[in-house]
Amino acid sequence: MDLSHRSRALRLAVAAALMSSGAAAAASTSAASTSAASTSGASSSAALCDGDAFQTVLFPAAASMANVDARAAWIDRRTLAWPGARTDARIRLYHAANASLTAPRGGKVGGADGFLPLAATPAALPERLRYLGNGPVFALREADVARIGDGYAGLHRQQLLLVSEAADGTVLDATRVQVAGALDDLYAAAEAVPDLGATPRANGTTFKLWAPTARQVAVCTYDKGTGPSRAATPLRFDPTTGIWSATLAGNLDGKYYRYAVDVYVPGSVPGAGIVRNLVTDPYSVSLTTDSRRSYIADLASPRLKPAGWDQDAPPAKVRAQPDMSIYELHVRDFSIGDATVSAANRGKYTAFLESGSDGMRHLRALSQAGLTDVHLLPVYDIGSIPEKACVTPAPSGAPDSDAQQKLIGASKLADCYNWGYDPYHYSAPEGSYSTDPADGARRIVEFRQMVQALHRAGLRVGMDVVYNHTYTAGQDEKSVLDRVVPGYYHRLDAKGAIERSTCCENTATEHRMMGKLMVDSSVLWTQAYHIDSFRFDLMGHQPRSVMETLQRRVNAAAGRHVNLIGEGWDFGEVADGRRFVQASQLSLNGSGIGTFSDRGRDAVRGGGAGDTGHDMLARQGYVNGLVYDPNGAAAHAPAELLKAADLVKAGLAGTLRGYPLQTHTGEVRELQRIDYAGQPAGYASEPGEVVNYVENHDNQTLYDLNVLRLPASTSTADRARVQVLAAAINAFSQGVAYFHAGFDILRSKSLDRNSFESGDWFNRLDWTYRDNYFGTGLPPAADNGKDYALFQPLLANPAFKPAPADIAFTRDAFRDLLKIRASSTLFRLRTAADVTQRLRFYNTGPAQVPTVIAGRLDGAGYDGAGFQAVLYLLNVDKVARSIDVPQEAGRNWKLHPVHTAPDAADRRAGEARYAPASGRFTIPPRTAVVFVE
């Protein structure tokens, strides 16, 4: 039988079937030249575009194919790798237009329209595919290369199965083929296309969707976010880019749309086979309620701009990345409990417009003290927050009760709260923070108003972005990328399953179009919303090269430098550069992109991010009693305190690779030669490449951690002082200073180590400064239940609850630290050479007083130094300590003006003494103090 003829006939039959269902068909190469036009008749539009069904299976795959994995992967359009395959067998790539393939081991291939033979080649497996394992590489015949990606007739639109056969056709093995390598090669030109998505103009509205494996695509347009469609319009396919497009008459700005995508869905997901997906646009700029439809918006239109938007600009506070001091804030947390915000605006973008609210007064005070940036936890479209009829439970109970968390847990999928690390549409604002999520325009305008209000308050605006995973994948209703190009956008393992090391379905930004989506999305936020900086969640899962491209693109979009920081953790399937050079701590040096440092964090607060059980008590840190104030949970050798002091100094020196430090052993070592859990303590090339922090949204707050680690007898006044000491170390460290919202008011989450869906109750902020919400019930059992026996007596003990005076002291002392940091560029040195030249530590080596840190910064001739020199001292001990610094004898050291101001918060700092004759400095207990010359 002529298999190629049979394949052609089946393709035409499939096309006829699709057309009869009401979709606009483009089933043959000749259809590529057909101009786009609306389908005729309301009934055809309704059949294709309306109703609640998000998928329709047109031709189901054979049940026997459900468990066939994808152990092979395309290297490029011509070659593929199949580790484990026999080179003495016959290798064929079978295809079927209607998903009819079967390949029983020991039987014969069934349901095929044809096949392409492959031959083994000596080509090497590229590094990016080493995860597959070693094995042979096979190549198509040259004559078949064009055929597999040939426009409408290309075989990537069909079901494909790679089969190893005996000479008589008996199936020895069969596998699907991971598709990204072929699509990236065939459609590389798509990476340069600037206008994917919907683009309304005066003379027409253009739609562009990258869907190279789709058999046909139509765009459904709607007048409103609900109600019937107005038209269904077929899109044309461009075989060079893999993009489907059409231009509809008229400016559709303000209308809504979805795509009907007919595509082969492989694997064992529900709905495998030839499927019609009714799906929103991966490039959506806004949506209607719960993201049911994409919104068409001209983001440059005056109707979407608040008054003065074109003149909006960030405050000129950051000349270099180390100038940044950041407050990490969740939009809903900010105002949901603020009674001074009108009820309609609580938890919304518009809360930031109420300049007289307690929350906005708090932010302005921080800004005036020297804070430069607010970083918003995810504000893109979030998949896990209901935008319509979400609930807000009202728990009650004893401080150690489990009733509160039970109520929160029972409603967590329906409540209005989530941190937002569940990306649905990367480039659209989240609707639950809008006063009307049904109106696609409202969230755009209100987001811009929020940015504008923060800029007016003297604060730049950053975004926490999560391009490393999606909320769902496959054929789930809230899956977008996989329902447009199945199997492309996510990072797969050696069997073709989606990697989940980030908690969810990992994206593959090493693939051209996923990398492009991340870059294009960041550019949109920069241009359209005046975002000043980005914080990348799990940035170590991104390639360094893509992050550097992103940096160039956002800089060009803004006409200035846009600051990039992120989590550079090295783990998962990409760890140690197994797939590409990562944007991780050890791999980003020299890029100018900042990563969070766990070195100083762990030394300051003790332990590690994932501590549970007894470790939470036993692993004390530098500020909470290690050796000098033991809590009785474990014995610590004096050397542990000395090592912690070295790591604190490493953080103060910007975690720089080449900074020389005299360690507690007396040796002078570059920081990269000092060990931190098997890694170099110093990893950054420049100070702007490190982000210093001791608390963020993850894990327990520092106050809660100190409930566990400080001796139980520690007064709440001293607990406040310990909080300020940690803040001082952060404020005085070279690099970016990063603080969690509420850190400055002793924020507690009632010991919750993971409050991502713990509701408003466990995430509250009190801008009246009366309560820090410690002891508001046992935290949610899912992440904390195993430690309830440890937590209950602590939560029930009223001695751990700070008084309003403790909160006020911490608030004001924190602001004083910001003022000190802002007063001199010596706390914000620009280059590694500056740090090496100008920062020196006293009280080092084996004879040091280990509870005292002393750092001197030379300001001679340095732009913005403000002083001839600065000397900061931190005494974490419970008693006053003195150190002798003969080098500083006879100098004119005075307390920093912030310490001597009438409204200085920490009067104890004013008791610090300097003896010029000897160079002795005496520092009160649990105090940070700065002298200037």
Neighbours of 336 (CB within 10 A): 20
Instruction: For residue 574, give the 3-state DSSP assignment.
Output: helix
* Residues in contact with 44: Cβ distance below 8 Å, sequence separation at least 6, in sequence order: 22, 232
**H-helix or E-strand spanning residue 232:** strand 229-234
Q: Are 293 and 532 contacting, i.e. CB atoms less than 8 angstroms apart?
A: no
End-to-end CA distance of the chain: 94
Distances (CA, A) of 713 to 206, 706, 717, 771, 851: 68, 12, 11, 21, 20
Neighbours of 846 (CB within 10 A): 13
Q: Are 658 and 738 contacting, i.e. CB atoms less than 8 angstroms apart?
A: no
Cα gap 700→682, rounded to integer Å: 26
φ and ψ at 838, to 5 degrees? -110, -20
Query: What is the DSSP track for 708-757?
Result: HHS-TT--HHHHHHHHHHHHHHHHHSSSEEEEETTGGGT---TT-S--TT
Q: Are 743 and 814 contacting, i.e. CB atoms less than 8 angstroms apart?
A: yes
Q: Are 235 and 217 contacting, i.e. CB atoms less than 8 angstroms apart?
A: yes
Residue in 537, 646, 766, 812 annotated catalytic:
537
φ and ψ at 807, to 5 degrees? -65, -45
Q: Assess whether 310 carries a catalytic annotation.
A: no
Identify the CA nearest to 745 among candidates 814, 694, 648, 699: 814
Cα gap 26→19, rounded to integer Å: 9
Amino acid at 702: L
Cα gap 465→583, rounded to integer Å: 15
Neighbours of 630 (CB within 10 A): 14
Cα gap 888→624, rounded to integer Å: 30
**H-helix or E-strand spanning residue 551:** helix 544-558
Q: Assess whether 537 carries a catalytic annotation.
A: yes
Q: Output the 3-class SS for 808-831.
A: HHHHHHHHHHHHHHHHCHHHHCCC
Residue 310, classified by CB atoms within 10 Å of its CB into exposed (0-12), middle (13-18) or buried (19+), is: exposed
Sign of CA dihedral 704, 708, 710, 714: positive
Cα gap 930→859, rounded to integer Å: 14
Cα gap 823→808, rounded to integer Å: 23
Identify the CA nearest to 720 among candidates 820, 594, 623, 826: 623
Instruction: For residue 918, give the 3-state DSSP assignment.
Output: coil
Q: Are 409 and 313 contacting, i.e. CB atoms less than 8 angstroms apart?
A: no
Cα gap 856→826, rounded to integer Å: 10
Amino acid at 758: S
Residue in 567, 629, 757, 812 annotated catalytic:
567
Q: How far out from the chain centre does Cα 843 lie? A: 40
Structure tokens at 901: 């101001």
Please compute, for residue 464, the number of CA atoms within 13 A of its CA located in the half-sphere on the CB side: 26
**H-helix or E-strand spanning residue 375:** strand 373-376
Identify the CA nearest to 419 among candidates 68, 760, 15, 4: 760
Angle at which helices 358-369 and 804-823 cross, to 10°: 40
DSSP type of residue 310: G
Cα gap 678→861, rounded to integer Å: 39
| Catalytic sites, residue numbers | 537, 567
